[in-house]
Amino acid sequence: MAGVPHFDNSYIGLPKQFYERLEPNRVAAPRLIQINDVLAEELGLDKNFLRSPAGLDMLSGCAMPPGAEPIAQAYAGHQFGEFVHQLGDGRAMLLGEVVDRNGIRRDLQLKGSGRTPFSRRGDGRAALGSVLREYLVSEAIAALRIPTTRSLAAVATGEQVIRETLLPGAVLTRAAASHIRVGTFEYFAARRDIEAVRLLADYVIARHYPHIRFESETYRALLGAVAERQGALIARWLAVGFIHGVMNTDNMSVAGELLDYGPCAFLDTFDPLAVFSSIDQAGRYAYSNQPSVGAWNLARFSETLLPLLAVAETDQVAIAQQELERYGWRFKMEFQAIFHAKFGFGEVREGDAELVHSFLLAMTENQADFTLTFRRLADSVLGPDDDEPVRSLFINPLDFDRWAAVWRERLAAETRPPMAVREAMRRVNPAFIPRNHRVEAVIKAAIKSSDYRPFEEFSRVLSKPYEDHPAFAKYGDAPAEHERVSATFCGT
Ligand code: AMP
Ligand code: MG
């Protein structure tokens, strides 16, 4: 078979309680919807193979090429605060690992390819809508320079899945640094299998944090390193108005990538308390709660590592607490760096934090559109004559004017010329995000009329979110009142 991926599988070398082996699973009529050629290239995969009958077999889970060793990974997790001791890949199949063009090991995983020993009462399938949603949003997140799992391919199965109604089925092929979650650690810790926790920790260090192998207290260093990556990640979500929606510990990757695109959403008007997920009744995963949920999840992670940190219990807890502090520290650093850049501040000066804070407050009170406001703010750098596009986004434009007067005084201290400040701001404030109403519209066109052109067009625009794309400006617009999406649903 020509062009078969060169699999180099390491997770399967871990003991047998880490996973279940899977058999391929035929689907009725697999049909290719989309291949991500740029990503295929990065992963060192042969595009012609992916488009061949054998490629389609692999991407739909029907038959495996040589070298693939499909498994479902075991994990547990805290879902909305409650511990569930057995979750695991119930609708996902890890095909194996490939080493990409940069020498990084990446998982290739199918989502929606059928039942596994972890499926519980689920059907192991995915609906086309959720596959297209993950494809579009994960690739947009990657283009926004946020670490994330990626989407390699979408395939229709020709079968229907039963949800509230009958929906067309599909399979997503996802690439990830790995699919090891906080919940994977919790799975073994809950079973008091400390040796398995140690093996998993060693595996994660070797794969994701090789630089700490030589530190004297490696498990302690692992905790701190995972905490830092998570802090940096969540700060970046806030900077683009992203709401994950289901930050359970089984959806938190220890590699520091955004994992699981179920009910995620982007803010239109700025509202720190915004929640879109229909299952998040209490607002646990609201936009501005995300930093504290990250800390909560990491505390659960630290608990799984306690026996590896020291002999005495009091020492274990003290070490864990110390390392967990690196989360908040890194979050603050990253938040400051990104938000300062969003306002055109080249270096930190006194009063900057207050300017950021007062602007966010004014945006909230004035129901200003998050993305448009920051994008247009760049034009105001040149002077108040250019303020109208941004100030008109505020219910009371005078609130903007008052704030802008102080902001301009601050900008006067910048050493860079205004044009350079404007350009720098445009490089961090995207014009295009996967707005909820647009995501729904392209999915609807695909499902209702088998029209994938809007999906492809929107994908193309989102792949270059910092450019203006005048011909596609509509994708940057805020939703009209009747277009506004108020609830998103889990990918199940
Ligand atoms: P998620 O909400 O996607 O994070 O999934 C939580 C858990 O439910 C994981 O163990 C999934 O494998 C499982 N799950 C979700 N949907 C399905 C499904 N359709 N069939 C089987 N398992 C599922
Ligand atoms: Mg999940």
Going from the Cα of 239 to the center of ligand 1, the distance in angstroms, rounded, reads 29
Specify the residue with its C-alpha closest to ligand 1, atom 22. 90
User: Is residue 2 scored above 90 in pLDDT?
Assistant: no
> How many residues are recorded in the chain?
492
pTM value is 0.98
Of the chain, the percentage scoring pLDDT greater than 90 comes to: 98
Please write the tens of the pLDDT for every residue from 326-383: 999 999 999 999 999 999 999 999 999 999 999 999 999 999 999 999 999 999 999 9
Residues sharing a CB contact under 8 Å with residue 477, sequence separation 6 or more, in sequence order? none
Residue 308 one-letter amino acid: L
**Dihedrals phi, psi of 151, to nearest 5 degrees:** -115, 120
CA–CA separation, 344 vs 358, rounded Å?
Answer: 16
Q: Which residues surround the ion ligand 2 when the cut-off is CB under 5 Å? A: 251, 260
List pocket residues of ligand 1, CB cut-off 6 Å. 87-91, 118-119, 122-125, 246, 250-251, 260, 262, 490-492
Please write the tens of the pLDDT for every residue from 103-141: 999 999 999 999 999 999 999 999 999 999 999 999 999
Number of the ligand 1 atom closest to the C-alpha atom of 492: 16
> Beta partners for 92?
111
Give the H or E element holding residue 229: helix 218-240
Number of the ligand 1 atom closest to the C-alpha atom of 124: 20
Please write the tens of the pLDDT for every residue from 27-67: 999 999 999 999 999 999 999 999 999 999 999 999 999 99
Of the chain, the percentage scoring pLDDT greater than 70 comes to: 99
Going from the Cα of 119 to the center of ligand 1, the distance in angstroms, rounded, reads 7
HSE of 20 in the Cβ direction (CA atoms, 13 Å)?
18
Going from the Cα of 297 to the center of ligand 1, the distance in angstroms, rounded, reads 19
Task: Please give the structure tokens belonging to residue 284.
Answer: 């646990």
Specify the residue with its C-alpha closest to ligand 1, atom 11. 90
Going from the Cα of 76 to the center of ligand 1, the distance in angstroms, rounded, reads 11
* Contact yes or no for 128/168 (Cβ under 8 A): yes
Of 77, 13, 72, 5, whose CA–CA distance to 45 is shortest?
Answer: 5
Say which ligand is closest to the CA of 253. 2
Amino acid 81: pLDDT = 97
* Contact yes or no for 22/65 (Cβ under 8 A): no
CA–CA separation, 386 vs 393, rounded Å?
Answer: 13
* Contact yes or no for 61/24 (Cβ under 8 A): yes
Number of the ligand 1 atom closest to the C-alpha atom of 89: 12
CA separation, residue 196 to residues 87, 224, 458 (Å):
17, 20, 44
Going from the Cα of 58 to the center of ligand 2, the distance in angstroms, rounded, reads 22
Cα 434 to its chain centre, rounded Å, is: 13
Going from the Cα of 401 to the center of ligand 2, the distance in angstroms, rounded, reads 44
Task: Please give the structure tokens belonging to residue 24.
Answer: 């391929």
Specify the residue with its C-alpha closest to ligand 1, atom 6. 87
- By three-state DSSP, how is residue 401 classified? helix
User: Is residue 416 scored above 90 in pLDDT?
Assistant: yes
User: Is residue 296 scored above 90 in pLDDT?
Assistant: yes
Work out the mean pLDDT of the chain and round it to a whole number: 97
Say which ligand is closest to the CA of 258. 2
* SS percent in the chain: helix, strand, coil, step 5: 50, 15, 35
Amino acid 490: pLDDT = 62
85, 86, 87, 115: which to mutate for ligand 1, most atoms within 8 A of CB? 87
Number of the ligand 1 atom closest to the C-alpha atom of 262: 3
Residues sharing a CB contact under 8 Å with residue 204, sequence separation 6 or more, in sequence order? 178, 180, 222, 254, 255
Going from the Cα of 90 to the center of ligand 1, the distance in angstroms, rounded, reads 5
Specify the residue with its C-alpha closest to ligand 1, atom 13. 90
Say which ligand is closest to the CA of 75. 1
HSE of 387 in the Cβ direction (CA atoms, 13 Å)?
16
DSSP calls for 15-62: -GGGEEE------S--EEEEE-HHHHHHTT--HHHHHSHHHHHHHHTS
CA separation, residue 138 to residues 58, 258, 295, 463, 482 (Å):
21, 8, 23, 11, 26
Rg (CA), the chain: 23
Amino acid 34: pLDDT = 97
Amino acid 171: pLDDT = 98
Say which ligand is closest to the CA of 181. 2
Other Cβ atoms less than 10 A from the Cβ of 409: the count is 11
Our answer to whether residue 250 is catalytic in this structure is yes
Q: Which of 89, 107, 250, 280 is catalytic?
A: 250
**Dihedrals phi, psi of 266, to nearest 5 degrees:** -110, 145
Cα 284 to its chain centre, rounded Å, is: 18
User: Given pLDDT bands bounded at 50, 70 and 90, which one contains residue 491?
Assistant: low
CA–CA separation, 239 vs 237, rounded Å?
Answer: 5
**Torsion sign over Cα 293, 296, 298, 301:** negative
- By three-state DSSP, how is residue 175 classified? strand
Number of the ligand 1 atom closest to the C-alpha atom of 125: 19
What is the distance between the terminal CA atoms of the chain, rounded to a whole angstrom? 34
